[in-house]
Structure formats: structure tokens, C-alpha cells
Amino acid sequence: MSNDDEQRILAVHLPGMDGLCVGCRAWWSRLAPYPCWQVEWATSRQARAITARFLRVRA
């Protein structure tokens, strides 16, 4: 998976007015609370990448 994949997920899986994930409802007709597991996955990948870049620069 690339950084572009994570950005696409975060662009679509947004909180709705009712607190549910808009992307899950649109793509899978699933009522999932926001943040859904896709958002949690994408944000954790971004955090790991940022940490890895920081540690490599500082090392």
C-alpha cells in the first residue's frame, strides 16, 4: 500500500452528521461509527511513516 492509498481512504471515510462513517455507508452500505477501522488503519500507517522518517533523519 502506498501513501496515495491512505490519502484516498482518509478523503472518503469522513464523519457524517449522525456520527457514522460516510465512506462505509457509500461503499458497503454498512453503518459504522466514525472513525471506522479503515480510518484507524490509514492514520496508524501515516504515523508509522512519519516516525520512521523522523528517526532516520535524527539517527
For residues 28 and 20, give the distance between their C-alpha atoms in angstroms, rounded to a whole number.
13
pLDDT along the chain (59 residues), means of 10: 85 96 94 95 93 79
What pTM did the predictor assign? Answer: 0.79
CA–CA separation, 18 and 52 (whole Å)? 36
